[in-house]
Amino acid sequence: MNFQDIAKIEKADSFLDTAFRAARMLEKPKIRDRVKAAKAMELGKMDTVRRVLTRRLSAILKSFPSLDALPDFYNELVKATTDYPRLKKSLGAVDWAVKRINILHKGCSLKVKKSNQMGQAASQRTQFYGRVSSVMKQISFELAFLDDARKTMRRYPAIKTSLFTVTVAGYPNVGKSSLLKALTGASPEIRSYAFTTKAINIGYLRHAGQRIQLVDTPGLFDRSIHDMNSIEKQAYLVLKYVADAIIFMIDPTGSCGYDVRMQQKLLKRIRHFGKRIVVLYSKADLLEKKEPGSRYISTKTREGIDSLVTLLAKHHKPGSKEEDNQH
């Protein structure tokens, strides 16, 4: 799913200026009868305004995805990051404006065609301009809201929801982004302090003819979704709706700023998603002692990376329901 195609939405006055300017540029019809020529000119101006406005408004409706048809992840993401009822109402207002402008054009055009005097045609065109201006001003707040929503939605990650997906989760600064880079070659922002990942990073792993999508999520905390900020909600929704398997990373060194017991409480919450989980202990190069039976990795020395790739490919096999729950 890609939201980059949602075009920038101008203000209502900008729409009107463009439409009226296009109407002013029309050439006068080559008709000798002055009344007929005036009527043709006014009809042409009105049709130009109608066409420009309805085309640009319809483009807004086409560029926004059908909200009800979105995959569950994106549908919930829209609800978590925008005023969903208002978004639907604003799109409905734009659709109303398209229909209303067409109705006004039809009515005023009919009166122009029936007019017998030059002044009558010009008067109807003036009335049409005034009425469509009123329509556009009525949806000015909706247009502004839709452009704000567009800016939010353009930042959504382009996750392939149909591809086998492994999500990397854990507390901030436990090494998730470093693991993504080690596995896929992706280049997320990596720093030695918490909250570096402020968005979802995506990479792709190819192994033995298989393609696996890996998603590095922002750091989570052990709290309900109602208490999460918008960044945490994105991570939560990826885990709930997108992940086929989860790599949960624990930093046993405590250098992330959170002790192991806190991290294990978060792991317990994530188990409620019912997904296959691979538990990894990161920063193995900094440890002097390791617990037998646990899986350790180091992105600096690449300890455990190759075996992890093999395990992920194993999970990818059709019908594989195995879970590495060692901890």
pLDDT in tens, 299-310: 899 998 999 888
Residue 268 in tokens: 């317990």
Q: Is the pLDDT of residue 322 over 80?
A: no
Our separate counts of H helices and E strands in the chain read: 10, 5
Using pLDDT thresholds of 50, 70 and 90, give the confidence band for residue 50.
very high
Q: pTM of the prediction?
A: 0.77
Domain ranges for the chain: 12-153, 165-316
Q: What are the Cα distances from residue 206, in Å, to 164, 203, 212, 239?
A: 12, 10, 6, 22
Using pLDDT thresholds of 50, 70 and 90, give the confidence band for residue 105.
very high
The CA distance from 200 to 217, in Å, is 5
Using pLDDT thresholds of 50, 70 and 90, give the confidence band for residue 202.
confident
Q: What are the Cα distances from residue 276, in Å, to 7, 58, 107, 231?
A: 39, 44, 63, 23
The more confidently predicted of residues 5 and 166 is 166
Domain 165-316 has CATH 3.30.70.360: no
Q: Is the pLDDT of residue 227 over 80?
A: no
Using pLDDT thresholds of 50, 70 and 90, give the confidence band for residue 197.
very low
User: Mean pLDDT across the stretch 293-317?
Assistant: 86
- pLDDT per position as a tens digit, 239-284: 899 999 999 999 999 888 889 999 999 899 889 889 999 999 999 9
Nearest to 7 by CA among 48, 86, 65: 65
Domain 12-153 has CATH 3.50.50.60: no
Nearest to 127 by CA among 291, 159, 27, 135: 135
